[in-house]
Amino acid sequence: MVWIDCEMTGLDPDTHVLVEVAALVTDSELNILGDGVDVVIRPPEGSLDRMAPVVRRMHTDSGLLEELEGGVSLAEAERRVLDYVTAWVPEAGVAPLAGNSVHADKAFLRLGMPKLTEHLHYRIIDVSTIKELAARWYPEARDGAPAKTGNHRALGDIRDSIEELKHYRRTVFRAL
Whether 168 sits among the annotated catalytic residues: the reply is no
Q: What is the DSSP letter of 141?
A: G
CB 20 within 8 A of CB 7: yes
**For the domain that residue 120 is a member of, what is the CATH number?**
3.30.420.10
Structural domain count, the chain:
1
CB 11 within 8 A of CB 106: no
Residue 176: its pLDDT value, please? 61
d(CA 107, CA 36): 21
- Span 119-166, pLDDT tens digits: 999 999 999 999 999 999 999 988 888 888 868 899 999 999 999 999
What kind and span of H or E run contains 78? helix 74-88
Predicted model pTM: 0.94
**Type of residue found at 119:** H
Domain-located, residue 13: yes
- Span 79-121, pLDDT tens digits: 999 999 999 999 999 999 999 999 999 999 999 999 999 999 9
CB 72 within 8 A of CB 39: yes
Domain-located, residue 137: no
Q: Which domain holds residue 70?
A: 2-125
Given the residues 84, 122, 138, 168, the one annotated as active site: 122
